[in-house]
A and B are shown apart, each in its own frame.
Chain A
């Protein structure tokens, strides 16, 4: 039973346009959500996070939106750059701990 779902395996966007990466979750106990970016042959690196008490968090070109009623979050990248091409993982946790449950990831390709 997958508790964090990234249903689209890949996304391709034009440089300069917006990238929207979606994530759904089923466990209502999750109260902290994170996005990680991963390049080939490297470990995941933290990108942005959001607490369940918020519905939006912004950091530069990256914005995460949380819709608790729909158990849905999305990562917006504006404007998209070729260097953003990577695998993006959505992750969730419960309580004040670092035990993360990950989605399967989505491969983003940004075309020059």
Chain B
């Protein structure tokens, strides 16, 4: 997981609160993305970015915002947290090429919404 840093590792939120999950990579990758992992659901794509200033929705974007002002950072914002957003969140970055070993994941952020 070298090169992709996520913070915080653990967070508990109350329903309605807002927060930002931070993601930074130091590999100069153009492509960055956020996934959530839920029991029995695998990893589902929330939002992704193919470069600074460019973002797009994934499979489950509702309730989340993203922005990409720099190549290095791709924060994920929860504007009004809901219990359904309790999950493990993974940030990933890649060079956008076809080689799978260029896609790196962070260690994950465990979020609980009560």
Contact = CB atoms under 8 A, between A and B. Distances in A.
Interface residues of B, number: 32
Interface stretch (B12-20, B68-76, B90-98): B90-98
A34 B101 CA distance: 9
A104 B105 contact: no
Contacts of B58: 99
Interface stretch (A39-47, A65-73, A74-82): A39-47
Interface in A88-102: 89, 91, 96-102
Given A32-B98, A98-B31, A99-B33, A45 B42 contact: no
Contact of A43 (B45, B99, B101, B105): B105
Interface string A37-59: 00001111110110100000000
A9 B50 CA distance: 33
Contacts of B102: 98
Interface centre among B4, B33, B42, B44 (most CB of A within 10 A): B42
Nearest to A35: B100
Given A43-B105, A46-B101, A102 B90 contact: no
B43 interface: yes
Interface string B72-110: 000000000000000000101011111111111111100
Interface of A: 4, 6, 9, 32, 34, 36, 41-46, 48-49, 51, 89, 91, 96-105
13 contacts: A6-B42, A43-B106, A44-B43, A49-B100, A89-B43, A91-B43, A98-B92, A98-B95, A98-B96, A100-B43, A100-B45, A101-B59, A102-B44
- Closest 3 CB pairs between A and B? A43-B105, A49-B100, A98-B94
